[in-house]
Amino acid sequence: MSSSETLVLGGGCFWCVEAVFVRVKGVLDVESGYCNGQAERPSYEQVCSGHTGCVEVVKLEFDPAVISLSQLLAIFFAIHDPTQLNRQGHDVGSQYRSGIYCSSPQQLEQARDFIAELERESAFAQPIVTERLALRDYWPAEDYHQDFFERHPNQGYCLAVAAPKIAKLRRAFADCLRDRDG
């Protein structure tokens, strides 16, 4: 029996990132939260103020025997724009920055290598600005943020932003989908 690993990703609004990764086989749990800021147990309102230094993130618990870190990173880089500093689309502020927050030195090295390969391949027209840092702290977001897309699929933001990311996942990573999402 393999052990699970934890990886924390910031790619804009956590509703959208969470909606993608709950559909990926090998991902055992997904939780929206905040990390790597100066505030302890920040509220959504505090994070949105831009004064906490926290990032909106999703914490993934995954089984590396089923899905590799490289596969998770490939999905992550396909569903957000890693070249936008402190924003994703209309969401602007340092809380929306692109980031990979690793739970081990090995993950951090793999993330750095993955991005270096994307840069060598000129995968993006602009430079990648994604942070690659050790996870310093993590705080779960409020309950009403958890499983937001699943509970509100027809909400405007979900339709406009999250649904296209899920559609892209289904097109580009069909082999990584849970059976129920195929």
The pLDDT assigned to 2 comes to: 61
Share of the chain above pLDDT 90, in %: 93
Lowest mean pLDDT among 58-72, 104-118, 151-165: 151-165
Nearest to 52 by CA among 75, 35, 30: 35
Rounded Cα–Cα distance for residues 144 and 131 (Å): 27
Q: Is 158 among the catalytic positions? A: no
| Mean pLDDT across the chain | 95
pTM above 0.85, yes or no: yes
Catalytic residue among 13, 54, 102, 176: 13
Rounded Cα–Cα distance for residues 59 and 30 (Å): 6
Rounded Cα–Cα distance for residues 68 and 72 (Å): 6
Q: What count of other Cβ atoms lies within 10 Å of the Cβ of residue 107?
A: 22
The pLDDT assigned to 40 comes to: 92
